[in-house]
């Protein structure tokens, strides 16, 4: 049997219950196993969280900051183990923008977030009275996290929540639970029991969390259909929610770019984490004057990127994380080819493994799945454009509105175009480059609420006013 990574309940390792194997997508071999938690495990965790909340929520802010800073230090001390475990279960390479990068991001996000503070505000103080605004913790937050950036997204859910005085029960994806379980185990050294707990599930625990009367808020990162179910479930007892859902991010390349200079930035915009990133560039609109040169330069980068087993130090791109996602990307590429798109590099793979060649197609148009839907994988469709107003209208005509980018040699021109794009974040000459002090969230069906920075911290609180 493969190594078990237990749940962390009330500060202790909890192995109660049946287990399931987690598969290494690079090899098809088990990476380890986790507990398939049931309702009783959830009840134990909720009881421990509610007990811990009484003390944790009333601690001085500085104490919680200190605990978060200690977590950053613990991540640093255990970075190698966490990166290897992450690579083994997720598939992403140790190197490049891979597992070591992700764990480094966890430390950076935790360290930065630990420095934030929400101070009470005085809204009025005059002869008619005084109004104080306080940000108070919500209670117990259930965090449901995905398989693409499992540890970093876990940190985004956990750290602001506990800094603001909440307790968190995190349920990582069944595809990649191990690194989150281990992260939460490592964190226990910095926290009282019950403040952060982790429960794995092979399916079915998510809805029980949204249903649970002892959980006050659900924060969810994942697909739009599941986000909609979370919202419906949370409506029953008016739980708070933060939803970070899908994106179908457009990137608009203007005729004044230097194709060679932007090729690498475009590549990582499209193919960061093998394209399995909510804010990756997913629709690439290139002006006709530079279309061929940009496509050639982008394909040149793609063809030279080493792909292989995540644990191989030479790999920069790994496999697709799971078979379902692999099949989605395969279907979208085939659909585009069937409808007249042209293959530049890559294509529909024949093999039985999860290594999917980095794929670029031109002539991709509305009506093709690769254009209209989120591929969430290593394929990008390029669309040629001529008219600026038309391409902006096309970029904005999507149910998603997470990110977007403008690529230009003229910074002022790009900045003016950014104002016309409807998305939560607009990048100029880069894409998907999130940072801990810049609030991140989507418009339309890309989600509700934001993460990161003070705005993200506020999402973890209720407003309380005191009027005297
Ligand atoms: P989903 O987005 O469908 O989410 C699966 C998770 O949601 C599981 O943890 C599951 O828990 C939980 N869940 C399911 N139903 C409910 C519910 N009613 N209430 C609460 N939780 C629930 O993930 P998939 O892996 O299936 O990904 C599908 C698509 O999502 C991808 O193709 C991609 O497009 C997108 N995606 C987006 C991501 C992003 O970063 N925005 C990340 C990953 C995927 P349990 O198993 O315990 O029931």
The 10s digit of each residue's pLDDT in 3-51 is 999 999 999 999 999 999 999 999 999 999 999 999 999 999 999 999 9
CA pair distance 265, 133, nearest whole angstrom: 43
Q: Average pLDDT of 139-167?
A: 98
pTM of the model: 0.98
Residue 145 lies in a domain: yes
Tell whether ligand 1 has an atom less than 6 A from the beta carbon of residue 278: yes
Q: What is the CA radius of gyration of the chain?
A: 23
Contact 354, 91 (CB under 8 A): yes
Tell whether ligand 1 has an atom less than 6 A from the beta carbon of residue 376: yes
Are 299 and 185 within one domain? Answer: no
Residue 451 lies in a domain: yes
Write down how long the chain is. Answer: 468
Domain containing 342 equals: 249-428
Q: Average pLDDT of 58-79?
A: 98
Are 44 and 68 within one domain? Answer: yes
Residue 383 lies in a domain: yes
Are 221 and 337 within one domain? Answer: no
Are 21 and 94 within one domain? Answer: yes
- Beta-strand (E) ranges in 306-407? 342-345, 359-362, 379-385, 400-401, 403-407
Angle between helices 178-187 and 61-77 (to 10 degrees): 130
Q: Which residues are catalytic?
A: 244, 278
Tell whether ligand 1 has an atom less than 6 A from the beta carbon of residue 148: yes
Which pLDDT belongs to residue 45? Answer: 98
Are 10 and 119 within one domain? Answer: yes
Are 233 and 371 within one domain? Answer: no
Q: Average pLDDT of 131-154?
A: 98
Q: Within its chain, how far is the Cα of 293 from the centroid?
A: 32
Q: Characterize the bridge pairing of strands 425-428 and 403-407.
A: parallel
Which pLDDT belongs to residue 296? Answer: 98
Contact 262, 253 (CB under 8 A): yes
Find all residues with CB under 8 Å of 350, minimum gap 6, and list them: none
CA pair distance 334, 370, nearest whole angstrom: 9
- How far is residue 109 from each of residues 72, 122, 144, measured CA to CA in Å? 8, 29, 19
* Start-to-end CA span in the chain (Å): 64
Output the average pLDDT for the chain. 98
Which pLDDT belongs to residue 13? Answer: 98
The percentage of residues in the chain with a pLDDT greater than 90, rounded to a whole number, is 100
Residue 465 lies in a domain: no
Which pLDDT belongs to residue 462? Answer: 98
CA of 146 to the centre of ligand 1 (A): 6
Are 112 and 180 within one domain? Answer: yes
Whose alpha carbon is nearest atom 21 of ligand 1? 206
Probe residue for ligand 1, chosen from 20, 173, 226, 241 as the CB with the greatest number of ligand atoms within 8 Å: 226
CA pair distance 269, 298, nearest whole angstrom: 11
Q: Characterize the bridge pairing of strands 19-23 and 30-35.
A: antiparallel
Does residue 379 surpass a pLDDT of 90?
yes
Tell whether ligand 1 has an atom less than 6 A from the beta carbon of residue 221: yes
pLDDT digits (tens, 9 = 90+) for 389-441: 999 999 999 999 999 999 999 999 999 999 999 999 999 999 999 999 999 99
Which pLDDT belongs to residue 188? Answer: 98
Which pLDDT belongs to residue 27? Answer: 98
Tell whether ligand 1 has an atom less than 6 A from the beta carbon of residue 37: no
Are 141 and 154 within one domain? Answer: yes
What backbone phi and psi angles, to 5 degrees, belong to 274? 65, 30
Structure tokens at 172: 């990582």
Which pLDDT belongs to residue 329? Answer: 98
Which pLDDT belongs to residue 16? Answer: 95
Whose alpha carbon is nearest atom 32 of ligand 1? 325
Which pLDDT belongs to residue 323? Answer: 98
Q: Characterize the bridge pairing of strands 140-144 and 217-221.
A: parallel
Closest to 146 measured CA to CA, from 439, 374, 348: 374
Which CATH number covers residue 394?
A: 3.40.309.10
Cβ neighbours, 10 Å, residue 78:
17
Whose alpha carbon is nearest atom 10 of ligand 1? 206
- CA dihedral (61, 63, 64, 68) in degrees, to 10, reads 130
Are 399 and 452 within one domain? Answer: no
Does residue 456 surpass a pLDDT of 90?
yes
Which pLDDT belongs to residue 105? Answer: 98
Does residue 247 surpass a pLDDT of 80?
yes
Are 34 and 178 within one domain? Answer: yes
pLDDT digits (tens, 9 = 90+) for 202-220: 999 999 999 999 999 999 9
pLDDT digits (tens, 9 = 90+) for 111-129: 999 999 999 999 999 999 9
Residue 325 lies in a domain: yes
Which pLDDT belongs to residue 256? Answer: 98
Are 240 and 253 within one domain? Answer: no
Which pLDDT belongs to residue 148? Answer: 98
Are 184 and 225 within one domain? Answer: yes
Give the pLDDT band (50/70/90) at residue 98. Answer: very high
- Domains held by the chain: number: 2
pLDDT digits (tens, 9 = 90+) for 367-376: 999 999 999 9
Helix (H) or strand (E) holding 75: helix 61-77
CA pair distance 11, 33, nearest whole angstrom: 20
Does residue 1 surpass a pLDDT of 90?
no
Closest to 179 measured CA to CA, from 88, 311, 72: 88
pLDDT digits (tens, 9 = 90+) for 311-364: 999 999 999 999 999 999 999 999 999 999 999 999 999 989 999 999 999 999
């Amino acid at each position: 049997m493969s190594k078990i990574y237990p749940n962390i309940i009330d500060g202790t390792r909890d192995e109660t219950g049946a287990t399931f194997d987690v598969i290494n997508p690079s090899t098809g071999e088990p990476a380890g196993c986790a507990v398939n938690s049931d309702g009783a495990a959830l009840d134990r965790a909720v009881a421990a969280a509610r007990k811990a909340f009484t003390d944790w929520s009333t601690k001085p802010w500085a104490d919680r900051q200190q605990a978060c800073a200690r977590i950053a230090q613990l991540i640093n001390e255990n970075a190698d183990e966490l990166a290897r475990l992450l690579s083994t279960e997720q598939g992403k390479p140790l190197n490049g923008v891979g597992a070591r990068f992700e764990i480094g991001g966890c430390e950076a996000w935790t360290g930065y977030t630990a420095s934030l503070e929400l101070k009470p505000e005085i809204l009025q103080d005059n002869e008619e009275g005084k109004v104080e605004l306080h940000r108070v913790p919500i209670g117990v937050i259930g965090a449901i996290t995905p398989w693409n950036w499992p540890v970093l997204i876990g940190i985004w859910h956990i750290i602001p929540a506990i800094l603001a005085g909440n307790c968190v029960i995190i349920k990582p994806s069944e595809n990649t639970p191990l690194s989150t379980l281990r992260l939460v185990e490592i964190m226990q050294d910095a926290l009282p029991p019950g403040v952060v707990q982790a429960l794995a599930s092979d399916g079915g625990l998510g809805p029980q969390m949204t249903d649970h009367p002892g959980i006050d808020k659900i924060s969810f990162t994942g697909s739009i259909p599941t986000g909609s179910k979370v919202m419906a479930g949370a409506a029953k007892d008016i739980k708070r929610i933060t939803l970070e859902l899908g994106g179908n991010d457009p990137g608009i390349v203007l005729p004044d770019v230097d194709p060679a200079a932007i090729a690498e930035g475009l590549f990582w915009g499209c193919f960061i984490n093998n394209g399995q990133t909510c804010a990756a560039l997913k629709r690439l609109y290139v002006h006709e004057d530079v279309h061929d040169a940009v496509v050639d330069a982008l394909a040149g980068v793609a063809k030279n990127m080493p792909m292989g087993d995540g644990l191989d130090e030479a790999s920069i791109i790994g496999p697709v994380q799971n078979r379902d996602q692999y099949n989605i990307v395969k279907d979208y590429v085939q659909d585009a080819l069937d409808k007249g798109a042209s293959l530049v590099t890559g294509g529909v793979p024949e093999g039985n493994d999860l290594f999917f060649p980095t794929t670029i197609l031109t002539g991709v148009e509305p009506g093709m799945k690769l254009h209209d839907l989120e591929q969430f994988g290593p394929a990008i469709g390029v669309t040629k454009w001529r008219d600026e107003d038309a391409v902006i209208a096309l970029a904005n005509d999507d149910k998603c509105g997470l990110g977007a980018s403008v690529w230009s040699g003229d910074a002022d021109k790009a900045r003016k175009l950014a104002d016309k794009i409807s998305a939560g974040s607009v990048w100029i000459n880069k894409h998907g480059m999130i940072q801990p002090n810049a609030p991140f969230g989507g418009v339309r069906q890309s989600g509700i609420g934001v993460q990161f920075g003070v705005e993200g911290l506020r999402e973890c609180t209720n407003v309380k006013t005191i009027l005297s």
